[in-house]
Structure 1
Amino acid sequence: MVSQKKTWKQKILLSFQIVGVVYGQLSTAPLYVFGTIPPSDVDPDNHFFDEEVVYELFSFIFWTLTIISLIKYVFIVLRADDNGEGGTFALYSLLCRHAKVSLLPCDRSINEVVHHEEEIFSEIKVESRARRLIEKHKICHYLLLFLALFGSCMTIGRAVLTPALSVLSASTGLEISLSDVSHIFSSSDHARESISKALKRYVPVPCACVILVGLFMLQSRGTHRLGIMFAPIIAIWVLFIGGVGIYNIFFWDVKIIYKVCPVYMFRFIRNIDLTRWRLLGNIILCVAGSEAIFADLGHFSKKSIEITFVCFIYPLLIVCYAGQAAFISKNLHLENFNHLSESMPSYWKHVCIVLSLFASAVGSQASITASFSVINQCLALNCFPRVKVIHTSKTRHGQIYIPDVNWLLMILSLAVTIGFRDMVKIGNATGLAIICGMIVTTCLLSLIIALCWEKNLTLSACFLVCFGFFEVAYLSACLLEFHKGAWCLVLFLILSMTVMLAWHYGTMKKYEFDLQNKVDTEWLIDIIPNLGISRVSGIGFIYTDLVAGIPAFFSHFITNLPAFHQVLIFVSFKSMPVPCVPASERYLIGRIGPKNFRIYRCIVRYGYCDHVRDTDDFEEQIIRSIGEFISIEQNDLESRESQDGKMIIVGNKASTERTALVPLDEDNLCMKPTDSQISPEIEPFETASPCASAKKKKVRFMLPASRPIMQASVRQELQELIDAREKGSAYFLGQSHLVVRHGSNFLKRFLIIIYHFSEKNCREPPEALKIPHAALVEVGLIYII
């Protein structure tokens, strides 16, 4: 009963945080949906923008929110989560697991070693016509990867444009409010005009820039803290605009509630022309933030997202838009009638301005956190240059912060704000980013319905046609405004897609070169006695992308310098198309050559949300895993056959009942234990002074005593592993230099140039792996591709 109460408390807390993080953008959309309509289109003198058009646009807003945000995302797309993770790459990883469409670097010959044997292969369902068609044609594989990268770029683009749009719209409201106050104290029309021009020039953009800088500086505090800070602001804002919306409905036009009838949409389409059709590019902004409902799923629970939207956000937003439409329909003669602040009662107008400034900053949070999630997934799948990822929560692995990306987004957002200085142009670019991301989600989800959920192809086609037709109509309206700001998004898309594709291409080519030039393990076994290899004390970690064979850079090293360490460990990282790999299945350990060679292979399997590469205890986990491998190898538990011999998954229940190596914290090492403090099951190993080495290493290991019973050879091998760790570690990395083959086409040369630039300006591998420079050995090789 206690745990159930705790669960409900957690759901309520998450639902409260969601208001400020996930739904901030949706909640602040009323600031710019009507406000981004160009003044030339709303000029009453052209007799175009009349009361009936307002009703028709409100009908579009109601049904767009209902069909896209409520039905599509909350009721359907959230069901396509990847073990609790959302976003474009979550959909792509689902397709990769249910159909063989992955283009990520992977050694196909030993697929059975590096994949989840029981879990992943069981997800490949019965053969179907659609699955065979997609798996057979390579062009489908490239198209799916392109869609995943395209959708990711749209998410990043929204993180640049949305803060600029929402904050600038609120700052424009501040300028309007100050202008109204100044008119009271100005006697002449000339003075009023001069003050208005000065306010328009010096208030909106500078104020927006200050708020944007403050918003991005707060990102390092993490999603949990920001959710607690921002939730009250958005909650008050939504209740405020909902309350004002109810007031406007009853004060201006109570019959507005009947205008949700689809008949008004058909009237709009029946009288369609180019000018009217462009207005749909502004109306699509009412669902800005709907993609974040799915992309931010890793930060919160599905149930909390659903409850908050259905019971709180959706009804209040509908009421707000209805009240704003009722006001606009009766006040078309006012100068700024399409701005939200003008629809407020006079005694609440200034309160609205203050709240909107805070809410607009908070409203950008959803797009920023969604971009962090998407980039983290791209990083794990080798589709984005290496950047530092900081996990801001110990309980929820999806809550992350990426400093480099955060500052880059801030610079781009400031550039857009200062460069355009016009919310209409920024709104056009934002609308195009929103609808493009939604079309990608519709395409990928239609495939998931057929391939993953194994529904009828007719149902998949209906989903694609129904939602796709609705979204393509909005896309055509957004493209009509391409020359009025939307080109900015296309430019950003070209830059980001080029970087992603170049990084993926360079990574693939490096891996293919390593695969073609690797050396068989038999070569290493034969060369050790023949070449007279000297064994140096300590442990040598060789980091390689290969999961079989010897990498070319290491064979090059020992050929020129015939020496390596007493214990040699080949470490490989393999990303899986899953969010997380359980700790019990993460480490796959094998042996290279005879036992007396003391050469091991460790394959570290991780999902696109795992955080294993740059953890402080990573080396300790590898040593523990090899110790477990040595102790259970004699029983051949959970063995797998590979080209190198036996591969054993360590970390399961059977292997953790008794620990092969007992860690001893450095605090305990410096204390001289009394006889009563010495455990009868632990015997210290014979090494140098513990206190002297405690300063150098965080964790040291000891062998267990006679229990559990070990063979003498096993105990000796474990002791040698401990002694080698005490002597120190060295880390071998291959430093690749990609060179394009003479006569290659321009596209290949261009991609490699971009890859070189990205590699030189991204996070270095030693830093990402937390390798001390004093123990680093880099071996350079020229890769001709």
Structure 2
Amino acid sequence: MSISNPEYSQSNILRPIEIKGNNHSKGSLPALTLAAIGVVFGDIGTSPLYALKECFSPEHGIPFSSESVFGVISMVFWAFLVVVSLKYVLFVMRANNHGEGGILALMALALRTAPANSRRALTIMMLGVFGACMFYGDAVITPAISVLSAVEGLEIVSPQFTKYVIPITLTILVALFLIQKKGTALVGFLFGPIMVAWFLVLGIMGAYNIIDNPTILLAANPIFAINFLLEHSLQAFIVLGAVFLVLTGAEALYADMGHFGIRPIQYAWFLLTMPCLLLNYFGQGAMLLSNPEAISNPFFLMVPEAYTLTLVILATMATVIASQAVISGAYSMTSQAILLGFVPRMKISYTSEKEVGQIYMPTINWMLLALVIAVVLAFKQSSNLAAAYGIAVTTTMVITTLLAAVVMKVVWKWNSVLVAIVIGAFLLVDIAFFAANALKIAEGGWFPLLLGALCFLLLITWYKGRMLLRQKAIDGGIPLEAFIKSLLVSEPIRVNGTAVFLTAHVDYVPVAMLHNLKHNQVLHKRVIFLKMSIWDVPYVEDKDRIQLKEMGGGVYLVRAMYGFKETPDINQIMELLGTQYDIKCEPMETSFFLARDTVVPSAIPGMALWREKLFAWMYQNAAKPSDFFSIPTNRVVELGAKVEI
């Protein structure tokens, strides 16, 4: 099935042949691997700045000892192996939607397994949407905690810098969001080399400290983790929430696979990223065994004081890259949600002529900036943000595991026992991390939950409102084929040119058409009813883009198919009509007729009245269809009506 998008939903025109995946990644394997290091691993690569420091926070009540150091490092080691390497890199990344990953792509893939409008389809949709909403919490917290933790390294250089940490952090973050409209193409090629340098420095720092105390390598034995959990019970369970911080960014491996492919990400992880990260964590553990006082900021105290400032600068660059990746991810997620029918249309700017995925969304950008500034000012220290960070990411991970279970059972047709064993093991780990982070809801974990809940309310309200509008149009609609037949029997005055009527329902006459006949009492010599359909695949090839049905008398019914990672473009459609069907429409002789409805909340059964008012406000503030579909503004005719829901 395709996504049940009320604005771009299916009808009785046949779906094109199965569309083969296209991850849109171009280049050699080494080049893609280098690029993946720069984009995919920024979030997880900056976790050493704060993760281990948080594990030994005095608030957890863990007595500092060599046994606790071995226990925590052992948990970190096995968390990497089980959650990132086994779950994501080897299992979940196989559950891709024609090469695309991420929570919405996985939701679209899982939805194919459920009958339309069934309870299972609704459950899958709700899970996917809530997981996407929690990603916005991640997109707000990642820039705040990563940049803040890097700048806090200045306190190691000199305590006098403490009062400048927040101003410097805010300056960096504001500058980062201000340059978003310029795009990342100019600096994107630097991301890979800088992050390679960052990971190599992490590895060297770790190895340098491990040489002084190589016994820390024994922590790879899971017995240390098990004994630590058994001996300290509740305190160890609380620490588990901090241990999870080493995994933040694991979801990015899956979400960004469409840009680079599976193999580059796997190679980058196993050959560089994971070894260097583990070396650094083991190195921090080795240093703590020799110098327990270093727990105040173990990362920056790993190097001699003369190198601290240089490390702060490199760490700041790495955190800016990590923040850039998650900001771009928020744009991409929102763009997908718009096409899947969960978010109102918004202005989208393309910042690169070569890379389709490089987009800029002003509304999302300024909302994120406001929230990030508020978070930095409210939490003030990276350690205070740790609880908020964990709950955002663990929630998404649990949902990813549940949706992957559906794909394994129904799409891959795995044996039920095997699915239960694999998913059960992953869920056990995910839920343990989630429960440990849930203990910190009062300390800051409430923030991403509140933000996610508000986003979820907005997305579901928009989706439900669009469904109500669609049903209203169907209930009062006039069948298109019968109407055209009767209209051609007794034609009104025909005028030169082409009229394109955008419609959400190929079976019914567009409201704009009825208004045009009523008020202007003319019919163009060529009439095209155009329906935009969004399929549950990321991309559609141009040869499968257009379907046309001739209705006689110069009247055509056209459906244009797009993937959920593409943006419909009216100019492209008109060009394809000319090349594929020899229907050439002169731009200056073509008018586009759009319906611009005004939604009026009412007591008619549908949604609660306050939600209807919320939907009406969202509907009136959504971007105009002419802007979203790139329709020339001087060729647009808008005809509106009031609609009660």
Alignment of 1:680-699 (within 5 A): none
Partner of 1:48: 63
1:143 and 2:4 aligned: no
Partner of 2:73: 58
Contact kept in structure 2, 1:295 and 1:373, CA below 8 Å? no
Q: How many Å apart are 1:205 and its aligned residue?
A: 1.0
- Return closer, same or farther for 1:318/1:617 CA change in 2, 3 Å cut-off: same
1:323 partner SS: helix
1:738 and 2:599 aligned: yes
Partner of 2:172: 211
Partner of 2:555: 599
1:255 and 2:215 aligned: yes
- Return closer, same or farther for 1:459/1:268 CA change in 2, 3 Å cut-off: same
Offset from partner CA, 1:701-724 (integer Å, 9 cap, x none): 6xxxxxxxxxxxxxxxxxxxx6xx
Partner of 1:266: 226
Using the alignment, how far apart are the partners of 2:115 and 2:279 within structure 1?
45
Give the counterpart letter for 1:619 in structure 2: M
- Return closer, same or farther for 1:62/1:350 CA change in 2, 3 Å cut-off: same
Q: How many Å apart are 1:411 and its aligned residue?
A: 2.2
Using the alignment, how far apart are the partners of 1:47 and 1:579 within structure 2?
47
Partner of 2:35: 17
Contact kept in structure 2, 1:571 and 1:601, CA below 8 Å? yes
- Return closer, same or farther for 1:727/1:447 CA change in 2, 3 Å cut-off: closer
Offset from partner CA, 1:446-472 (integer Å, 9 cap, x none): 110011111111121112210000010
1:767 and 2:644 aligned: no
Partner of 1:432: 391
Contact kept in structure 1, 2:111 and 2:124, CA below 8 Å? no
Alignment of 1:154-553 (within 5 A): 154-179=134-159, 195=160, 199-200=161-162, 202-220=163-181, 222=183, 225-251=186-212, 253-334=213-294, 336-392=295-351, 397-520=356-479, 521-530=481-490, 533-553=492-512
Partner of 2:575: 620
Partner of 1:686: none
Offset from partner CA, 1:69-97 (integer Å, 9 cap, x none): 11111111111111221111211222233
Q: How many Å apart are 1:395 and its aligned residue?
A: 5.5
Offset from partner CA, 1:145-192 (integer Å, 9 cap, x none): 01111111122221111110000001111123222xxxxxxxxxxxxx
Q: How many Å apart are 1:397 and its aligned residue?
A: 4.0
Using the alignment, how far apart are the partners of 2:515 and 2:484 within structure 1?
12
Q: How many Å apart are 1:226 and its aligned residue?
A: 3.9
Partner of 1:750: 610
Q: Which has the larger radius of gyration?
A: 1
Contact kept in structure 1, 2:38 and 2:192, CA below 8 Å? yes
Which gives a bigger RCO, structure 1 or 2 (Cα 8 Å, sep 6+)?
A: 2
Q: How many Å apart are 1:742 and its aligned residue?
A: 2.0
Select which of 564, 569, 592 maps to 2:523.
564
Offset from partner CA, 1:207-252 (integer Å, 9 cap, x none): 111111232344445455443122222211111121111111121x
2:152 partner SS: helix
1:30 and 2:48 aligned: yes
Q: How many Å apart are 1:557 and its aligned residue?
A: 3.8
Give the counterpart letter for 1:49 in structure 2: F
Using the alignment, how far apart are the partners of 2:587 and 2:84 within structure 1?
58
Contact kept in structure 1, 2:346 and 2:361, CA below 8 Å? yes
Give the counterpart letter for 1:233 in structure 2: I
Offset from partner CA, 1:5-39 (integer Å, 9 cap, x none): xx996221121111111111111110010233474
Give the counterpart letter for 2:628 in structure 1: A
Give the counterpart letter for 2:149 in structure 1: S
- Return closer, same or farther for 1:9/1:549 CA change in 2, 3 Å cut-off: closer
Select which of 567, 580, 599 maps to 2:539.
580
Contact kept in structure 2, 1:602 and 1:622, CA below 8 Å? no
Partner of 1:77: 92
Contact kept in structure 1, 2:600 and 2:616, CA below 8 Å? no
Partner of 1:116: none
Contact kept in structure 1, 2:388 and 2:448, CA below 8 Å? yes
Give the counterpart letter for 2:132 in structure 1: S
Using the alignment, how far apart are the partners of 2:350 and 2:274 within structure 1?
31
- Return closer, same or farther for 1:727/1:537 CA change in 2, 3 Å cut-off: farther
Contact kept in structure 2, 1:576 and 1:605, CA below 8 Å? yes
Q: How many Å apart are 1:514 and its aligned residue?
A: 1.9
Partner of 1:93: 108
Q: How many Å apart are 1:529 and its aligned residue?
A: 4.6
- Return closer, same or farther for 1:8/1:416 CA change in 2, 3 Å cut-off: closer
Offset from partner CA, 1:533-568 (integer Å, 9 cap, x none): 222221111001112231244224423442221211
- Return closer, same or farther for 1:348/1:303 CA change in 2, 3 Å cut-off: same
- Return closer, same or farther for 1:458/1:437 CA change in 2, 3 Å cut-off: same
Unaligned runs of 5+ in 2: 1-24
Contact kept in structure 1, 2:534 and 2:564, CA below 8 Å? yes
Q: How many Å apart are 1:283 and its aligned residue?
A: 1.0
Partner of 1:152: 132
Using the alignment, how far apart are the partners of 2:247 and 2:98 within structure 1?
26
- Return closer, same or farther for 1:249/1:507 CA change in 2, 3 Å cut-off: same
Using the alignment, how far apart are the partners of 1:166 and 1:37 within structure 2?
16
Offset from partner CA, 1:265-322 (integer Å, 9 cap, x none): 2112212443332211111010111100011112212211111111000111111000
Offset from partner CA, 1:328-360 (integer Å, 9 cap, x none): 2332235x5343112223333232222112112
Contact kept in structure 2, 1:328 and 1:343, CA below 8 Å? no
Unaligned runs of 5+ in 1: 1-6, 104-137, 180-194, 629-659, 662-700, 702-721
Using the alignment, how far apart are the partners of 1:267 and 1:440 within structure 2?
30
2:450 partner SS: helix
1:333 partner SS: helix
Using the alignment, how far apart are the partners of 1:392 and 1:460 within structure 2?
42
Q: How many Å apart are 1:100 and its aligned residue?
A: 3.5
Q: How many Å apart are 1:780 and its aligned residue?
A: 1.8
- Return closer, same or farther for 1:395/1:306 CA change in 2, 3 Å cut-off: farther
Select which of 590, 597, 600 maps to 1:729.
590
TM-score by length of 2: 0.91
2:603 partner SS: coil
Give the counterpart letter for 1:247 in structure 2: Y
Q: How many Å apart are 1:438 and its aligned residue?
A: 0.8
- Taking every aligned residue pair, what percent have the same amino acid on both sides? 28
- Return closer, same or farther for 1:217/1:243 CA change in 2, 3 Å cut-off: same
2:478 partner SS: coil
Using the alignment, how far apart are the partners of 1:70 and 1:570 within structure 2?
50
